[in-house]
Structure 1
Amino acid sequence: MVMMSAKEASTLWGISTRRVTTLCSAGKIPGASKENGSWQIPANAEKPADARVRTGAYKKSTMPAHLPLPVGISDYRLASTEYYYVDKTLMIKDFLEQRPMVSLFTRPRRFGKTLNMDMLRVFFEKTEEDTSKYFTNKAIWACGQKYRDYQGKYPVIFLTFKDVKRNTWEETYAHLTRLIGEEYLRHADLADSPACNDFEKAVYQRIVSSTADSTDYISSLKTLSSMLHKHYNCPAVIIIDEYDTPIQQGHLMGFYDDAVSFMRGLFSGGLKDNRSLAFGFLTGILRVAKESIFSGLNNLVVNSVLDKKYNTYFGFTADEVAKMAAYYGASDKLNELRDWYDGYRFGDAEIYNPWSVINYFSAGCEARPYWLSTSNNDVISEVLEQADKDIYTQLTDLLQGKTVATYVDTSVIYPQLQNNPSSIYSFLLVSGYLKVVKAETSISGDYLCHVALPNREITYVYNKEILSHLNVMMPQTTVVAIQEALYSGDESKLQQQIQTLLTQSVSSFDTAGENFYHGFVLGLCALLGNAYATSNRESGDGRYDIQLAPKTPTMPGIIIELKAEKHCDTEQLQKLSQTALNQIEDKKYDTEMLTHGVKSIYKYGVAFSGKNVEVAFKK
């Protein structure tokens, strides 16, 4: 076989001799062998792909009349060359004008975080490929030479934790360490770099061979950035996408402390007092600063949904959606798009959900809730289990199109969600279920906000993903049967349906109090859709539990009063339901609806004890 030297290969392939020998050492060139201390390479060997750009180079394909939509595409080079791409590169300009050491961007799921982080990687990363071609027709390139000079300047460490959703800490640790090992392998030229010392090379080998211990992995960002700094004579950029996914999973699955401890060490080494760090970027849903994951990291700048800076770079603006609609010949659909997917407020910017807009056009302009079930909402379910009557009432008010005034803490942490159910509004806001109508003031990082549902899609998603937890995921057939019983005055059928639901769907109510049952029935009523559900409001001489005011004059109004006591037998429960019904009469709870001209009113007294229920009725 005809062979060539490493120097001949470097001339043929247009790369350095050192790079060729590194590729040989890493086993990236088939047939290469070392003879008398020098690498010999088959003359017909092809130049290996540059592993530092994980996704490879993309060739322009023959495009259809209209570019396809980037559904689920988070690779910037692919999205910006093969698909319809909404230009967000001015984010780079905004960053470079201030250059904070570490930036954290918190946004809801499916709002373009991963794509933007990959855009930053491609822009800043030093590679053998000339990656400027992915930006020459973008907005950042027109901003001038001082911004172009940063293109391709730095070595980059890129990790995304968005798929680290395992059931145990052992599985999570294995997943995290594998991602770290793969990122080390992406920088294979460090393995025998003369700029790095033997200790660093030994750590490198342990990590890529999966023989490293926890100390190696906790220090892995610091070690890798130090080696890159020495090798390239330039500090590194560190990008961590969806950093809080393993933390949320740890909270749900019972290994929260292990996840926080590991992340604290990992980020402290890489982002705190690291002389080999040029700057860092992180994304997530929650800030979680109070968890001390970023303890002592005084160079961290947080950009939340309430901040004006970077407010148009995650999600689509109205102008961007209008331009996309015109491109696909759907300008007549703008009102529908606005109704379904607009309404978010990031800082002072009006924002559309990008995932849903892209899917809407991709599906031939069919309006439906594309954001539904794109993530696990067990955290919301957990919080709602601790919610009291007032929170259930406010959640139902939101579904009726009303606003709720609440303090919002954008650095809310997962244990706080369980211990303080009122923090559910903060979580719903940063998760994308609510919008800020008005932020009145700020006190020690907390905002007094008026929040509401942003659009029709979220009203549907909210109904399915949130209120469904209030009624234990009841089947639609059950909802219909309960609605029929309520509006026909059939207390026996209503009692039977609620009894069946309690027996089949709920684990145990032996210790449940009236607040729980109030939320249970209120969530059930909120799903009916043909009445305005209100709760705990003044009418007559007191405050009723639940009222369903009819949306049309031909429908009856409904008042429900609830009672709950433990360890009742059937006779006691029947008396309790009658007591509830008598209270409606005695306190004249029907006064409000009578004042508004409702002529027919159905009154229900409902009593609970554990999983048992009795219903008393009067028309």
Structure 2
Amino acid sequence: MLGSDFELYTKNLNNARVVFGASVIVGDDNFQNIINSCFTFVDKSMLIKEFIESLDFVSLILRPRRFGKSTNLSMLNYFFKIPYSQEENISNSRLFEKLKISTEKEIIQKHFAQYPVIYISLKDLNAVTWDKMVEKLRILLAKIYREHRYLIDNLYSDEQKKYQKILNEDSTELQLSFSLQKLSMYLQQYYKKQCIVLVDEYDSPMEHAYNKGYYEIANNFFKNMFSSLLKNNSENIAKAMLVGILRITKSGFLSKLNNITIYSFHQENHKDSSPLYLDKFEFTSDEVELLLSLRKNLQINNVQSWYNGYISGESIHLYNPWSIIRLLSCGTLRTYWTDTGSTQILEKYLWKASSSFKESVEKLLKGESIINIKIQDDLQYSHLNKNQDLAIWILLYYTGYLAINSKNHLFIPNDEVRSEWYRWVVNVPFFTKGVTIESMLNCLLNENLDSFKKEFAQVITDTFLFYNVKGFYSEKNVEFVYYAFYLGMFVNARNRGFTIFSNRESGYGKYNITIFSESNGYEIAIIIEFKVIKKNKNLVDMVCKELDQIEKKKYRAGLHKDIKKLFKLEIIFEGKKFYVLGCLLHKTDEGIWISD
């Protein structure tokens, strides 16, 4: 066994405890494997105490992916489940010897190894059709029934037949939907004790069902399964904990449950009670400080900037645990968590949102927070189909791409997540076909207007095809181009040390983008305007008039004194046509601007 000769040791800092092992483990969320293989473990065992002492019948824990949910549920399973033998009982008790919960003698005496447990993970229930998902469900439930095969001899003959059908993966959908409720009844009858139910990634099947187009039928099935298990079944169930990413109770398959308590990041502190589980699924600052003793080359300030930023219960600052573990393994500050999951739903709807949504994205990328958005406790997938901005904000928050501060303002939590936002901006569809904002920016910096025109023409075609807009070029459709173009410019210019400003003067018809450098040696500044004009106007006269406005409107205001060149572009939309016109100005030694 890996590390079996290593002697575990513990370190404490305030309320934090870390059990240090031979190395850290990446990707294994089995609590028994982590402890027995002598891997370093952040002690979250007081979760057990909070779970036992809570008055909740069903606790629903909502956290982003890879935030410690599966490991914690595995820990609960090994703590509560009745062992099959005395040897297993001793083995399981040793798992908790160095953890905080071992000091809670009354809890150990009354609750350790005292419950039949139904422990199920739905994370692998992904399928292209509902029939395929049902096949996977039959396999999963057969596995769970097989773990309790000893129950068969205690059942009546008709019950034995039903049990055997689940084992043989030969059950109907209706039998599947009641299989967990039946199992809880069989376990209670056998042990004369109520069960504890633990469900990992309870919402994962619904995400796949939504993506593949069979959401309604899946929703109805799981609604029956969970209501039969957790509603009006208290004679068989003592407590339950479900963990996942999104709350889909009001509109989804938990809608029939009226005995469920939700625990998300944004729980509010109350005078008479403290919310549960605030620091049990992520790493606290003290825990990270203890862990960084394994990597002397890493500075806490840099680690904080990259992976901190999540706030629980209004005041507890937390780190992304997956990224911290990967950081300890690799030793390099880089993206880890954002490389591990699909953002299919997010990217599908992000760029179909309203203009105000895109303006808010601009603020987020500048490091500002967003106000006046109240995160609701429930997500309705139908709202995404209607392109409702609020549904997108809710999805971004619950999936970890935004956090909420003590003032209930939304913000991007850290540099790692910010890099994913930049990727979304740069990967707007037209950026992936050989034409990139970076290359267009290079054209402008190199004063190559002809190349810019060609690449921008490709941008226009691909963008409008992507948005499937009707009416082709119009004031509203130009808005799509502008925001995608501006945000891409913002990301690339900012990453290269430029300052960039945007000023929408009125309606959708006129925009200013100003790009200039203060420190990286570039002597050129760029000003871009978007315009929508009516047909039959004299473009030459209009462009000359607009270019003359450089002096009158003081476009140069705020530019660095070392700027020697000013590239002024007009991007004009007229009906189904567009024009890119430019003018390059030089500043003389006397400080006078003249055009080429």
Give the TM bin, normalised by the shorter chain. Answer: 0.7 to 0.9
2-side partners of 1:489 and 1:141: how far apart?
70
**How high is the sequence identity, in percent, across the aligned residues?**
26
TM-score by length of 1: 0.80
Aligned to 2:593: none
Q: Is the aligned partner of 1:354 residue 2:318?
A: no
Q: Aligned AA for 2:439?
A: A
Alignment of 1:34-433 (within 5 A): 61-63=4-6, 67-82=22-37, 83-128=39-84, 129-130=88-89, 131-193=92-154, 196-274=155-233, 275-307=235-267, 308-326=275-293, 328-330=294-296, 332-347=298-313, 348-363=315-330, 365-405=331-371, 406-419=373-386, 420-433=388-401
2-side partners of 1:95 and 1:611: how far apart?
63
Q: Aligned AA for 1:178?
A: I
Alignment of 1:535-546 (within 5 A): 535-537=502-504, 545-546=511-512
Change (3 A) 1:300 1:210: same
- Please give the secondary structure, in 1, of the residue aligned with 2:224: helix
2-side partners of 1:577 and 1:68: how far apart?
70
Equivalent pair of 1:577/1:616 in contact (CA under 8 Å): no
Q: Is the aligned partner of 1:517 residue 2:481?
A: yes
Q: Aligned AA for 1:323?
A: L
Q: Is the aligned partner of 1:494 residue 2:459?
A: no
Q: Deviations over 1:143-184 (max 9, x none)?
A: 222344211111111111112222222222221232112111
Equivalent pair of 2:509/2:530 in contact (CA under 8 Å): no
Q: Is the aligned partner of 1:594 residue 2:552?
A: no
Gaps of 5+ in 2: 9-20, 268-274, 585-596
Equivalent pair of 1:391/1:422 in contact (CA under 8 Å): no
Q: Deviations over 1:444-471 (max 9, x none)?
A: xxxxx3111111111112211x324435
2-side partners of 1:104 and 1:118: how far apart?
16
Q: Aligned AA for 2:448?
A: D
Q: Aligned AA for 2:480?
A: F
Aligned to 1:451: 410
Q: Aligned AA for 2:4?
A: S
Q: Aligned AA for 1:481?
A: S
* Count of residue pairs brought into register by the alignment: 542
Question: Displacement of 1:72 after TM fit?
Answer: 0.6
- Please give the secondary structure, in 2, of the residue aligned with 1:165: coil
2-side partners of 1:597 and 1:480: how far apart?
22
2-side partners of 1:596 and 1:335: how far apart?
33
Aligned to 2:439: 481
2-side partners of 1:224 and 1:588: how far apart?
80
Gaps of 5+ in 1: 1-57, 440-448
Question: Displacement of 1:108 after TM fit?
Answer: 0.5
Change (3 A) 1:407 1:62: same
1-side partners of 2:540 and 2:100: how far apart?
68
2-side partners of 1:374 and 1:74: how far apart?
15
Q: Aligned AA for 2:41?
A: Y
- Please give the secondary structure, in 1, of the residue aligned with 2:409: strand
2-side partners of 1:68 and 1:589: how far apart?
66
2-side partners of 1:573 and 1:273: how far apart?
73
Question: Displacement of 1:317 after TM fit?
Answer: 0.7
Equivalent pair of 1:382/1:418 in contact (CA under 8 Å): no
Q: Aligned AA for 1:225?
A: S
Question: Displacement of 1:377 after TM fit?
Answer: 0.7
- Please give the secondary structure, in 1, of the residue aligned with 2:258: coil
Aligned to 2:13: none
- Please give the secondary structure, in 2, of the residue aligned with 1:239: strand
TM-score by length of 2: 0.83
Matching residue within 400, 405, 409 for 1:437: 405
2-side partners of 1:593 and 1:574: how far apart?
28
- Please give the secondary structure, in 1, of the residue aligned with 2:513: strand
